[in-house]
């Protein structure tokens, strides 16, 4: 399973946990660590792909990093 497959498994599990929290079966303190871990994993994977598989020119790498963060932060 590649990086995409692992990320989708974690996202699915987080969605399931968030659904249980919404139904009142879990406390928020039980769900927050998994949400943070999954978000960190996905952002780190995106940055890794941009840095190690992107163009070698520093300006293009900065542009790629700023573009990869825009759907996440805004």
DSSP tag of 57: S
> What do you get for the CA distance between the two ends of the chain, in Å?
30
Q: Say if CB 41 and CB 10 are below 8 A apart.
A: yes
Q: Which pLDDT tens digit goes with each residue over 36-64?
A: 999 998 888 878 777 777 555 555 555 65
CA dist 28 to 7, 21, 32, 69, Å? 22, 7, 6, 26
pTM above 0.75, yes or no: no
Whether the per-residue pLDDT at 3 is higher than 90: the answer is no
The span from the CA of 3 to the CA of 16, in Å, is 20
pLDDT tops 80 at residue 16: yes
Identify the domain containing residue 23 by its residue range. Answer: 3-73
pLDDT in tens, 4-15: 788 889 899 999
- Specify the number of domains making up the chain: 1
């Amino acid at each position: 399973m590649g990086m995409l497959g692992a990320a989708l498994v974690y996202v699915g599990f987080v969605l399931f946990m968030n659904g249980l929290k919404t139904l009142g079966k879990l406390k928020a303190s039980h769900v927050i660590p998994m949400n943070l871990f999954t978000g960190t994993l996905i952002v780190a994977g995106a940055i890794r792909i941009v840095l190690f598989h992107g163009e070698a020119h520093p300006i293009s790498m900065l542009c790629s990093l700023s573009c990869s963060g825009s759907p996440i932060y805004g």
